[in-house]
A and B are shown apart, each in its own frame.
Chain A
């Protein structure tokens, strides 16, 4: 029991945690609620990942294979943890497939849920076919064709609206989703590569391509791919009589209202807390922070800790997170869990 770690969620963070635990010589039990491994990058059909530029299926495929091949890993797909008894060092988890797992520690890599654009009806998603999300454009890139869903035409103009479901007190999302700026500038380049005649406009309040993403994504997109950045938060998306979409807002640099025709409008959707978080909090007996993500313990010496001893959390379960950092956190939590289990064993001996 004290040499087994339960990992919940098989996305980038969970796969890294599982590989980390097994690599340290302990047993790992990986529980994934979907019937496929790989998490959101696979389930949502992402194209090339930021910042590596590798196709999601290749990159995640390697992560999955690493876990499948490693000794000491047991994988339950299409299953959820429904109950957790015991305490750090001797948990007993009940899984929905009827199995029980004895484990010393639990790592929650339960990720996030994409913001549902239906919650911002004024931006046209669900009303107009040619208003789509970044996830849908990722899928278009995978399919190798950028097209307007309404009639399949290649768009002359694409507008990407940033901060959809982020930084918006109106809908109770007071956080920055951290990665949408970088993802959007990357998508702008991918759109231009697939469809050189298309002009891409990014409507922004701020551009937050932090760290090394600045020149590799923002600058490159603007300087080499001629993406246009317009400082305006769009107020409304409507349709013109000719069937094109109209984005309305105030261009804050020209100080004038704008009504600009577009062919395709893309919502750069943010990261919500996993919609199952209330249930997860109840099952695992942990607290959520005020936005609904999993609450962190003091981070300096209890890295990846939650409010309950022996339970760790990683990646986008803790708040908007990049894939790369989720992977690092998975590896870090594995280390931390193994450390704590060793300490427990020594204490008992």
Chain B
């Protein structure tokens, strides 16, 4: 039978094959529509530990679902799908798929911190929103934020040369984020730099852009720095081992 009220069903759960013949009977199109069950069949018990290990997410497990955060939320007033209380619950139970459904709105948190101020259990929901956004970005569920791209470019240059060149960072950042280098305001900035800056300084910059000078004996420091950053990242992203009780 054709399903008339498809609007009531999550589109992801509707399965239809365009052409299908079963036992000689043509059941193409809506005649073969199947609806996947809406049961939640498991929790990811350790997911909250991943979020709790990220800055801002430390207290996520404290939530008792009073809804103060959602009620005070600036974004909720704009869009009732923006529901921090709900995402915190999903995080604690490890219902990742449900969180991912809201990937396009979680990051829109404006960090007004009204939720964090009002939370009776000190969950710090604003931090949880940040942690969730970062987690989704890291997992490639949402595209990289411009700020992350900038940070990476900056760090890469430091790793490589032990220093950073303003011009090169801006150039690469604009390139990676798909922004035009011939935007009016940018062209104007360049013009004025050429016009007003000392020639020696401009030559200096130009030489550095071309030759990418490195800090002397940088190799050893580079290794140590890379290792240190790697360790710090690993520490920040490693959930506590299963079973370890920590206050």
Q: Is A118 positioned at the interface, with any CB of B under 8 Å from its CB? A: no
A231: which of B39, B65, B242, B247 is its contact (CB, 8 Å)?
Answer: B65
A229 to B89, CA, bound (A): 9
Which residues of chain A are near B93, meaning CB under 8 Å? 228, 230
A225: which of B39, B40, B43, B245 is its contact (CB, 8 Å)?
Answer: B245
A218 to B64, CA, bound (A): 10
Q: Which 4 A-B pairs have the closest CB atoms?
A: A196-B243, A197-B243, A258-B40, A199-B45
A198 to B246, CA, bound (A): 14
Chain B, Cβ-Cβ closest to A195? B243
Identify 30 residue pairs between A and B in the complex whose beta-carbon atoms are under 8 Å apart, listed by A's number: A157-B45, A192-B245, A193-B245, A196-B243, A196-B245, A197-B242, A197-B243, A198-B243, A201-B43, A218-B64, A222-B64, A223-B61, A223-B247, A224-B245, A226-B61, A228-B92, A228-B93, A251-B40, A253-B65, A253-B89, A254-B86, A254-B95, A254-B98, A256-B39, A257-B39, A259-B39, A259-B41, A260-B41, A260-B42, A260-B43
Q: Is A261 positioned at the interface, with any CB of B under 8 Å from its CB? A: yes
Residues of chain B from 226 to 247 with CB closer than 8 A to chain A in the complex: 242-247
Would A256 and B244 be within 8 Å (CB), given that A229-B64, A230-B93 are in contact? no
Q: Is B217 positioned at the interface, with any CB of A under 8 Å from its CB? A: no
Q: In the complex, are the beta carbons of A256 and B64 less than 8 A apart? A: no
Taken residue by residue from 83 to 96, chain B's Cβ proximity to chain A (1 for < 8 Å, 0 otherwise) reads as 00010011011010
A129 → B minimal CB distance (Å): 23
Residues of chain A from 251 to 282 with CB closer than 8 A to chain B in the complex: 251, 253-254, 256-261
B40: which of A201, A218, A222, A257 is its contact (CB, 8 Å)?
Answer: A257
Q: In the complex, are the beta carbons of A261 and B86 less than 8 A apart? A: no
Which residues of chain A are near B192, meaning CB under 8 Å? none
A224 to B89, CA, bound (A): 17
A322 → B minimal CB distance (Å): 22
Q: In the complex, are the beta carbons of A254 and B45 less than 8 A apart? A: no
Which residues of chain A are near B95, meaning CB under 8 Å? 254
Which residues of chain A are near B242, meaning CB under 8 Å? 197
> A224-B246, A254-B40 are known contacts; what are 20 more A-B pairs with Cβ within 8 Å?
A157-B45, A192-B245, A197-B243, A222-B62, A223-B62, A226-B245, A228-B43, A228-B92, A228-B93, A229-B65, A231-B65, A253-B86, A253-B89, A254-B90, A254-B95, A256-B38, A257-B38, A257-B39, A259-B40, A260-B40
B57 → A minimal CB distance (Å): 14
A253 to B121, CA, bound (A): 19
A207 to B121, CA, bound (A): 15
Would A196 and B39 be within 8 Å (CB), given that A231-B65, A254-B90 are in contact? no
Interface size on B, residues (CB 8 A): 25
Which residues of chain B are near A224, meaning CB under 8 Å? 245-247
Which residues of chain A are near B245, meaning CB under 8 Å? 192-193, 196, 224-226
Residues of B near any A CB (own CB < 8 A): 38-43, 45, 61-62, 64-65, 86, 89-90, 92-93, 95, 98, 121, 242-247
Which residues of chain A are near B41, meaning CB under 8 Å? 258-260
A115 → B minimal CB distance (Å): 26
A200 → B minimal CB distance (Å): 10
Residues of A near any B CB (own CB < 8 A): 157, 192-193, 196-199, 201, 207, 218-219, 222-226, 228-231, 251, 253-254, 256-261
Which residues of chain B are near A197, meaning CB under 8 Å? 242-243
A335 to B197, CA, bound (A): 96
A254 to B38, CA, bound (A): 11
Which residues of chain B are near A193, meaning CB under 8 Å? 245
Which residues of chain A are near B62, meaning CB under 8 Å? 219, 222-223
Which residues of chain B are near A253, meaning CB under 8 Å? 65, 86, 89
A225 to B89, CA, bound (A): 17
A257 to B121, CA, bound (A): 28
Which residues of chain B are near A218, meaning CB under 8 Å? 64
A198 to B86, CA, bound (A): 25
Which residues of chain B are near A261, meaning CB under 8 Å? 42
A199 to B242, CA, bound (A): 9
Chain B, Cβ-Cβ closest to A223? B62
A207 to B64, CA, bound (A): 10
Chain B, Cβ-Cβ closest to A199? B45
A193 to B89, CA, bound (A): 24
A229 to B45, CA, bound (A): 12
A190 → B minimal CB distance (Å): 12
A157 to B45, CA, bound (A): 9
Which residues of chain B are near A222, meaning CB under 8 Å? 61-62, 64
Which residue, B43, B65, B90, B121, has most C-beta atoms of chain A within 10 A? B43
A258 to B41, CA, bound (A): 6
Which residues of chain B are near A228, meaning CB under 8 Å? 43, 92-93
Which residues of chain B are near A226, meaning CB under 8 Å? 61, 245
B40 → A minimal CB distance (Å): 5
Which residues of chain A are near B43, meaning CB under 8 Å? 201, 228, 260
A164 to B92, CA, bound (A): 25
B68 → A minimal CB distance (Å): 15
Q: In the complex, are the beta carbons of B86 and A256 less than 8 A apart? A: no
B38 → A minimal CB distance (Å): 6
A224 to B90, CA, bound (A): 19
